[in-house]
Amino acid sequence: ARFHPHPALRLGRPGPLNALERDADFPARDAVAALVASLEGPLDTAFEATGRLADVWEPNDDLVPGLLREHARERGYGVYVRADAAIEAATAALAGYAHRALTLKRLTLALRDVWSVG
């Protein structure tokens, strides 16, 4: 439960879990959890959480999308599929050097839409 919803837990990959064990206050996990918690609240709160996520995305760009997907997976298959498409689009945009803050705000808006329908 301590590492939930880390994707490595479901996939059985001990390496990323060992990294979390060494750093109990893992900022990427906390930023993702804050964003997910804010998706059904006021937009300004969601954008504040997006700012925190932007700060941790780049050094954790291999981890953050998986954490977001795990939160979406918990909400059911329909939500997961739509959220996965939004996360993949944001990841591709960031890989193409798109503006980080704008890309993540767009992702936040897409996830808010997905969460509200799901």
Query: Do the Cβ atoms of 47 and 106 come closer than 8 Å?
Result: no
Q: How many beta carbons lie within 10 A of that of residue 55, not counting itself?
A: 12
Computed over every residue of the chain, the mean pLDDT equals: 87
Residues comprising the chain, all counted: 118
Going from N- to C-terminal start, the domains of the chain cover 7-117
Name the pLDDT band for 42 (thresholds 50, 70, 90).
very high
The Cα 59–Cα 115 span in angstroms is 26
The Cα 70–Cα 12 span in angstroms is 14
Q: What is the pTM of this model?
A: 0.81
Query: Do the Cβ atoms of 116 and 40 come closer than 8 Å?
Result: yes
Predicted pLDDT at 99: 96
Candidate from 14-18, 31-35, 44-48, 96-100 with smallest mean pLDDT: 14-18
Q: How many beta carbons lie within 10 A of that of residue 73, not counting itself?
A: 16
